[in-house]
Amino acid sequence: MKKYAIIAVVAIACLTAFSFAPTGGREYVPVEQTPDMETGYIENVHKKNDYYLLSIDQVDWYEGEAAVQKFLEREADSGLDGPPDDYYIINDDETLHDLPIASDAEVLMQIYNRTGNVLEADIVWNEPISVDKFIELLSTEDDLDIKGFPYHLTVKDGEIIRIVQQFVP
């Protein structure tokens, strides 16, 4: 009987440990900001000729110490020592601009409704999906609205060549 109790305790401990690990098996790593990258919210997608255009509300995205610094500059009287989730977004200009997506753009998602049941959505860090799948997700009405997440967009020669969904807790 003791043997089964020990096995049960070990099994529970293992299941508990795995339940706190990200599904993709990796920890979150901040996206490295590059000169050809902009961050924003996708407001709309539409097709023009043979390509898709994203209407983007560009924002300033800060993480870590840079987020703390910007937060304290702008929210000094909040009573907090820094942003609650270690990131800070500034959106002083809500003007939209359109950018075309390259047909071979890389799209990396963190969380979306993979099964049709939003309750089953989980985090898979930097999961690659096709541009067509991304457009389908943007066009789907769902309780997990992927337009509610910021995206890091790498732009080369005037078109988006890489899209990375930014997970926000």
Q: Percentage of the chain with pLDDT > 90?
A: 72
User: Which pairing describes strands 159-165 and 96-111: parallel, antiparallel, or unpaired?
Assistant: parallel
Average pLDDT of the residues in 21-38: 73
Under DSSP, is residue 131 helix (H, G, I), strand (E, B) or coil? helix
What lies within 8 Å, CB to CB, of 102 at 6+ separation is 51, 131, 159, 160, 161
Q: Percentage of the chain with pLDDT > 70?
A: 85
| Cβ–Cβ under 8 Å, residues 107 and 129 | yes
* Digit-coded pLDDT (tens) for 39-86: 999 999 999 999 999 999 999 999 999 999 999 999 999 999 999 999
| Cβ–Cβ under 8 Å, residues 59 and 67 | no
Quote the pTM value: 0.82
Which of 5-19, 93-107, 126-140 is least confident? 5-19
Which of 6-20, 69-83, 109-123 is least confident? 6-20
Interatomic CA distance for residues 16 and 152, integer angstroms: 33
Question: How many C-beta atoms surround the C-beta of residue 21 within 10 A?
Answer: 10
